[in-house]
């Protein structure tokens, strides 16, 4: 669970990197603290390009004023392979509760997201009692691949984001031939791919400011209100024993 230690952005034209105009996105009474963003990546290789891309995203998000935490998937058991109080599972779920938005970064393997990526998402439940750890929170999706550009992994993660009732932003990033896009120090080279990563991070921050103060209202649903009213009626009108 880390925040990037360096905000050095050598691949960015800083004159064109504009701070977020918060006043254009919030209304009186909205939260004013730094947006809380959780970053997940889908590989545990020593030189993991999804991790390197997640670190670039983390630096950019910090520059845009976010508080960023990254989950290290090493040691996370397979879904249902441990109890929910397992330390890594608890860490992941606590971070999901803490966050107001997420970034999911997966390699594409065999035409799909990795099992490591899917396992993290599967450990985050749709509901924990009355709490919904992901509902109404923002999401950005990115992928890296070893060959030509593909969108299989980001498309799958979009489906999962929708299933988790998240607000998945329109923009996304797919970095082809990722082994050519990072230098020896693990920093992403200037390219159109890098520009898209900046776009995604900027858009995620804007959507997070826009959504988080209205999340409770946006996710207030008739079906859930009707169900709650029905349960209340059953409880109030039950016969005395």
In the three-class reduction of DSSP (H, G, I as helix; E, B as strand; rest coil), residue 237 is classed as helix
* 100 touches 35 (CB < 8 A): yes
Report how far residue 76's alpha carbon sits from residue 87's, in angstroms, rounded to the nearest whole number: 9
Residue 53 phi/psi, 5-degree rounding, is -65, -40
pLDDT at 5: 43
DSSP 28: T
The CA distance from 34 to 207, in Å, is 13
> In the chain, how many H helices and how many E strands?
7, 7
* Two tokens, residue 185: 């120090």
CA 62 to chain centre: 14
Query: CB-side exposure of 24: number of CA atoms within 13 Å?
Result: 6
| pLDDT for res 232 | 56
Q: Write the class of the CATH domain 14-237.
A: alpha beta
Q: Is 75 helix (H, G, I), strand (E, B) or coil?
A: coil
The reported pLDDT for the residue numbered 101 is 97
Distances (CA, A) of 161 to 137, 138, 214: 10, 9, 19
pLDDT values of the chain reduced to their tens digit, one per residue, 241 residues: 555 445 789 899 988 999 999 999 999 989 989 999 999 999 999 999 999 999 999 999 999 999 999 999 999 999 999 999 999 999 999 999 999 999 999 999 999 999 999 999 999 998 776 678 899 999 999 999 998 898 999 999 999 999 999 999 999 999 999 999 999 999 999 999 999 999 999 999 999 999 998 888 888 888 878 876 667 566 556 555 4
125-129: long-range contacts, CB 8 A cutoff, minimum separation 24: 125/93, 126/163, 126/164, 126/165, 128/93
Closest by CA to 176, choosing from 140, 200, 152, is 152
Containing 67, the helix (H) or strand (E) segment is: strand 67-70
Domain boundaries, the chain: 14-237
Length of the chain: 241
Distance CA 55, CA 194 (A): 13
Beta-strand pair 138-144/167-168: parallel
């Amino acid at each position: 669970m880390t925040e990037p230690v360096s905000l050095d952005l050598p691949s960015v034209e800083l004159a064109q990197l504009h701070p977020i105009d918060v006043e254009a996105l919030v209304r009186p009474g909205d939260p004013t603290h730094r947006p809380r963003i959780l970053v997940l990546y889908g590989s545990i290789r020593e030189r993991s390009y999804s991790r390197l891309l997640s670190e670039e995203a983390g630096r950019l998000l910090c520059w845009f004023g976010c508080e960023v935490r990254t989950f290290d998937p090493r040691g996370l058991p397979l879904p249902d392979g441990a109890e929910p109080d397992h330390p890594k599972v608890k860490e992941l779920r606590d971070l999901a509760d803490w966050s107001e938005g997420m970034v999911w970064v997966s390699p594409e393997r065999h035409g799909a997201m990795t099992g490591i990526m899917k396992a993290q998402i599967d450990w985050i439940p749709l509901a924990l009692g009355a709490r919904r750890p992901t509902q109404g929170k923002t999401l950005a999706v990115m992928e890296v691949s070893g060959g030509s550009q593909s969108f299989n992994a980001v498309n799958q993660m979009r489906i999962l984001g929708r299933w988790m009732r998240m607000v998945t932003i329109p923009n996304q990033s797919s970095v082809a031939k990722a082994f050519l896009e990072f230098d020896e120090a693990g920093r992403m080279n200037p390219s159109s791919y890098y520009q898209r990563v900046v776009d995604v991070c900027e858009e995620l921050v804007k959507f997070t400011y826009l959504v988080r103060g209205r999340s409770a209202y946006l996710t207030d649903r008739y079906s859930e209100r009707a169900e709650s009213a029905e349960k209340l009626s059953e409880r109030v009108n039950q016969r005395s024993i």
